[in-house]
Amino acid sequence: MRALLGAEFSPGPEGSVTVFEVPFGEPLGDDAVTGCRSELGRPLAAGMPSDFAQAALGGLAGDEGAMAFPAGLLRVVRAGYDEVGSSELAFKLAGDLLRCVVDALLHDRDPLATAQAVVHAW
């Protein structure tokens, strides 16, 4: 399973809500250019096909009972996929992992230790 997500969080005014922005492109196709270097295997195609956007949003927003972000905007600014190795599940897990790492950064916790704990729990 392969999915790449990166995001930026901008705090919002007190009392407002958290907004998630997950830009996406065309549905998965046969002509993706794999130009994103990956430490975990062959290069990825840049962007996120529409096939995976809802799953990524689900991971970022979290299930009921998941830690909530403070008010603000969480915007996905980087994404990469593999036409063979990516899936909705991979993007849901990547979104969940990113949510946990951003939460750690917002609360001055070690993001690497947080990421390792999340992956270990999988």
Q: What are the pLDDT digits (tens) for 76-98?
A: 999 999 888 899 999 999 999 99
Q: Which residue, 65, 63, 55, 60, is CA-closest to 87?
A: 55
Residue 18 has pLDDT above 90, yes or no: no
| Bridge partners for 72 per DSSP | 11, 18
Which pLDDT score, from 0 to 100, does residue 29 have?
A: 72
Q: What is the DSSP letter of 75?
A: E
What is the pLDDT at residue 31?
A: 67
Q: What is the pLDDT of residues 21-71, one digit of tens each?
A: 898 887 877 666 767 777 778 888 888 999 999 999 999 988 766 667 888
What stretch of H or E contains 46?
Answer: strand 45-46
- Residue 11: strand, helix, or coil: strand
**Among 89, 109, 73, 86, which residue's Cα sits nearest to residue 40?**
86
Domain limits for position 50: 3-121
Q: What pLDDT is stored for residue 66 in this prediction?
A: 66
Distance, C-alpha 7 to centroid of its chain: 7
Q: Count of domains in the chain?
A: 1
* Site of tokens 């600014």: 77
Residues 59 and 9: their CA atoms lie apart, in Å, by 15
pLDDT of 65 reads 65
pLDDT band at 114 (very low <50, low <70, confident <90, very high): very high
82 vs 16 pLDDT, higher one: 82
Q: What is the pLDDT of residue 120?
A: 93
Predicted confidence at residue 91, as pLDDT, reads 95
